[in-house]
Amino acid sequence: MNRIVNAKGKVDFRSDNGYGQAESVTYEESGDQVIFEGSPGNPARLWQRLTPGAEPREIRARKILYNRKTGAISTDGTEVLTAPR
């Protein structure tokens, strides 16, 4: 069974390696994928630490797809993508 969990409104989220804000966050169990969505003028924002204790990189886009199994991230409507320091 594929479970899908969705939160809408001003969604704040936090995990072991990052945090962020979005208008909508959807988790799709079958692909272990999280989808963060914003809107024009209010993009989804994700700050991700690539290694423990490191400064996070910022990703700001209309849509951010994060694969929890592989750690891969893809975006649509990217506004900001910073490299960790």
Q: Give, in degrees to the nearest 5, the angle at Cα 70 between 68 and 75.
A: 75
- Residue 22: predicted pLDDT: 96
Domain residue spans in the chain?
A: 4-81
pLDDT digits (tens, 9 = 90+) for 16-47: 888 999 999 999 999 899 999 999 899 999 99
pLDDT at 85 over 70: no
Measured CA to CA, the distance from residue 52 to residue 77 in angstroms comes to 28
pLDDT at 57 over 70: yes
- Residue 5: predicted pLDDT: 86
Whole-model pTM: value is 0.85
pLDDT at 71 over 70: yes
